[in-house]
Amino acid sequence: MNKSELFDIVETERGWLTDLSQSIWANPELAFQEYDSAEKLQDALREEGFEVETGVAGLDTAFVARYGDDDPVVGTMGEFDALPGMSQAATAEREPVEEGAAGHGCGHNLFGVASLGGAVATKRAIERGDVDGTVVYFGTPAEEAGGGKVYMVREGAFDDVDALVSWHPGWNNAPGKGSCLAVDSFSFAFTGETAHAAASPESGRSALDGVQLLSTGIEYLREHVPESARIHYVVTDGGQAANVVPGEAEMECLVRAPSRDEVERISERVTDAAEGAALMSGTELDATKTSGMYGVLPNHALGDAIRENMAEAEFPLTDEQEQFATELKATLDDPSYARVPSEHQEEAAESAMFTKPIDAPDEGQTGSYSTDSGDVSWNVPLGRFSAATWPAGTPAHSWQAVAAGKELGTAGMEFAAKTIAGSLYDLLTDEDLLAAANAEFEERTGDTEYESPLPDDADPYELVDR
C-alpha cells in the first residue's frame, strides 16, 4: 500500500467520520461526563474490529481500542470533551444554540474523530497484510479539566506503546516541536471561628484573612521565581455575609514552570505561605494538592515525519467552506498571527483558511500553557501537530472556534486523519524512524525518572461539577 492509497481510505470514510464529529459537536459534554461522545467513538471502533477496553484507570469515559497482535505498537489519542458556557451555532454571528450551555470551543469533536480516522486507515493497512504491527486508539477524557491522561499514564495504559502521534485543532498546519509548562494545582481551605463581625469580632478567627494573607504572600513570592513561572489563583469561597466573620474560606491555586522540579520548588514555597497565613490568622489550614502535570517532551524525529506527511496529504477545502471561513474571519476583532513565524504572517492574514503546511513554529520554545499530553510524552515518544480547522487567526476557546467546528473544521479533520495515518504507517514500515524516535526519547528523558505528579488519593471526579 502506498501513501495515496492510505489517504484514499480516509477520503472514502469521510462521510461517516463527518457525521460522527457533527453528532459529538451537537451534544457537547464536559470533562469526565463525555458518556455519549465516548460511546459513539467506541461503537465506531468496535464496528471496525478494534478490541475496546472501557473504564480505563477508573475513569468511566476513558478507553483503549486496539487492533493487531504484532510489534511494533503505535497509537494515537482522541479528546472529546467540551467547554462550559461556549454554546454557539454554526453561523458567522454570535448566536448560542442554548444560552449558557456547553460548546466545543477547542475543537475536540474534530480531535477525537480525526484520530479515529487515522487509526482506522492504519488498521486497514494491517488488516490487508501490508504492514505488521498493532494500532491503538486512546480515548482520553477530560483534557479541559481534570487531566484524564495523567490518570491513564499512572495506570500504565501507555506502557506497551512504541510511539504515538497526536494532534490538536487550530488555524495552521504544522508539527509541534516545542514544550509547555508543568503544573501543580492546589486547594487551600481555611477554617476559622464565626462571630458577629461588629459586636464580637474578638471572638472570631477569619478564614478569609487566611486566604488574603496567602494571596499577599504569593504576590511577594512572584519576585523570587523564574520569569517563566506562573502562579494564579481564585477565591472559590470568601464567606457569605459581611457581618459574619467568615468561618470557611478557600482558594484554588495553580503553579506552573517549565520543569517539574521548578514547579515542585515553587509549590513548596506557596504551601509554606499558606501555613504562614493560617498561623497569622489563627485558622486551620487544609492544603490539598489536587492535580499535577508534566510539560511536553518534544520529539523532533516524529515532528519531521509528520511534516513530510503533511506535504503529501491534500487539504480538502470546498468553496462553501472557504466562503464561510471568510465570513467568520471577518468577525474577529483582533486576529493574531503571532503563533506562526513572521515570514508566514502576511499570507496567514490574507487567507481565510491558512492551509499551507509549515515547519514547526515552536522549536526550542516553551508555550505558556499546560496539557495532560505532557505526562504521556514522558512515557512514550509523542509526535504532535496542529491542523487548520478554524479561520486564520482564530483563538481557541472562542465562539468562532465553536462555529467553525461543525462543518468548516471537517476539512482540517480529514487532513489531520491523513497525517496521523501516514505517520503511523511510517512508524510501522520504517524501523529507522521508530528507532530514531525512541533514541531521541531516551536522550531527552536522560536520568529523569517519571514519577506521577498526582497525589495518591486524587479523585478526578471531585474536581469537576457533575
Report the interface residues with Zn ion, using CB under 5 A: 106
Q: Which is nearer to Zn ion, 106 or 427 (CB)?
A: 106
- Cell numbers representing residue 291 in the block: 492535580
Q: Which is nearer to Zn ion, 123 or 168 (CB)?
A: 168
What Rg value do the Cα atoms of the chain yield, rounded? 23
Q: In a 3-state reduction of DSSP, which class is residue 385?
A: strand
Shortest distance in whole angstroms from residue 440 CB to Zn ion: 25
Indicate the pairing of strand 382-388 with strand 366-367. unpaired
Torsion 63-66-72-77 (CA) sign: negative
Q: Which is nearer to Zn ion, 304 or 375 (CB)?
A: 375
Q: Which is nearer to Zn ion, 351 or 371 (CB)?
A: 371
Q: Which is nearer to Zn ion, 106 or 251 (CB)?
A: 106
Shortest distance in whole angstroms from residue 26 CB to Zn ion: 18
**Which of 373-409 are b and which e, b meaning 16 or more Cβ less than 10 Å from the residue's Cβ?**
bbbbbbbbbbbbbbbbbbbbbbbbebbbbbbbbbbbb
Shortest distance in whole angstroms from residue 306 CB to Zn ion: 18
Chain centroid to CA 453: 17
Indicate the pairing of strand 179-180 with strand 366-367. parallel
Single out the residue of 54, 80, 68, 79 nearest to residue 161, CA to CA. Answer: 68
Residues 288 and 271: their CA atoms lie apart, in Å, by 9
Shortest distance in whole angstroms from residue 464 CB to Zn ion: 16
Shortest distance in whole angstroms from residue 143 CB to Zn ion: 6
Q: Which is nearer to Zn ion, 17 or 106 (CB)?
A: 106
Single out the residue of 419, 433, 437 nearest to residue 119, CA to CA. Answer: 419
Shortest distance in whole angstroms from residue 168 CB to Zn ion: 6
- Residue nearest Zn ion, Cβ-based: 106
Amino acid at 122: T
Single out the residue of 67, 22, 73 nearest to residue 48, CA to CA. Answer: 67
Shortest distance in whole angstroms from residue 146 CB to Zn ion: 13
- Cell numbers representing residue 192 in the block: 476559622
Q: Which is nearer to Zn ion, 144 or 440 (CB)?
A: 144
